[in-house]
Amino acid sequence: MAEPEGPQLYLVTPPEFELSSFPERLARVLDARPTACLRLAMATRDEDRVARAADALREVAHARDVAIVVSDHTGLAERLGLDGVHLTDGARRVRKARETLGPDAIVGSFCGALRHDGMTAGEAGADYVAFGPVADTGLGGEEVATHDLFAWWSEMIEIPVVAEGALDAATVAALAGVTDFWAVGEEIWRHDDPLAALDALLGAAG
């Protein structure tokens, strides 16, 4: 497969959304901009709610040949015909998720700003590692994933890397040469026109 030019788009859902309207908003973005993957990342732990959302968004994504993964719910990924799972606790469950979902599923791992966790996740079978937040969120207690981390990873490790959390035009411009994917979520969905917000955000990389 040919190397794509620049980082690819990896969309992340808002933690809460109206199932009556969000699929249409999502479809508009997917129709307008090439997207590598969609992550269903709801705040609720109610599996019935997550499953209903997954069913609706799977139809939207798969109709456009976009893979869809779900945060943490490995069992739902298998049951609902999703393409894989995104694990939010580093490397701890990667090996088990890979055993459960099989070799063809997508298994991703969010590793904060911890290089060692990323390497461990990769060794356990992760298809990609995500680092973030990439800028100060103002919430405190979160170590920022620096440019040096992404640069080292891109030079030394073959597993694709995802930049996510607190993306803005400045960080997008700075990280464009050292990441494989932009995980974009609330940065655009909080706006009335998410497509315009996406173009404003990622325009800095081009």
- Is residue 2 included in any domain, yes or no? no
Nearest Cα neighbor of 4 from 49, 46, 37 is 37
Residue 68 lies in a domain: yes
The helix/strand/coil state of 175 is helix
pLDDT of residue 140: 64
Closest C-alpha to 189, from 1, 15, 7: 15
Weakest-pLDDT range from 34-48, 91-105, 191-205: 191-205
Residue 75, CA distances (Å) to 39, 71, 78 in order: 15, 11, 5
pLDDT of residue 2: 38
Would you say residue 1 lies in a domain? no
Q: The CATH number of the domain where 128 resides is what?
A: 3.20.20.70
Residue 203's CB is within 10 A of a number of other CB atoms, namely 11
**Residue 135 and residue 145: Cα distance in Å, rounded?**
7
Task: Read off the pLDDT of each residue in 58-63 and give the average, rounded to a whole number.
Answer: 98
Query: Which amino acid appears at position 122 of this protein?
Result: G
Q: What is the pTM of this model?
A: 0.94
Which pLDDT does position 203 carry in this prediction? Answer: 84
Q: CA 87 to CA 41: how far, in whole Å?
A: 10
What does the pLDDT read at residue 3?
A: 46
pLDDT band for position 72 (cuts 50, 70, 90): very high
- Interatomic CA distance for residues 57 and 88, integer angstroms: 20
DSSP structural state of residue 157: -
Q: Is residue 110 part of a domain?
A: yes
- The single-letter DSSP state of residue 63 is T
Q: Is the pLDDT of residue 5 over 90?
A: no
> Looking at residues 94-119, what average pLDDT do you find?
97
- Mean pLDDT of the region 33-38: 98
Q: Is 138 a residue whose pLDDT tops 90?
A: no
**pLDDT > 60? residue 4:** no
Rg of the Cα atoms in the chain: 16
Q: What is the pLDDT of residue 205?
A: 53
What average pLDDT does the segment 64-86 reach?
Answer: 97
- Give how many domains the chain has, as a whole number: 1
Domain assignment of residue 173, given as a range: 8-205
In a domain, 50, yes or no: yes
| Integer Cα distance of 36 and 30 in angstroms | 10
Q: Give the separation between CA 59 and CA 51, rounded to whole angstroms.
A: 13
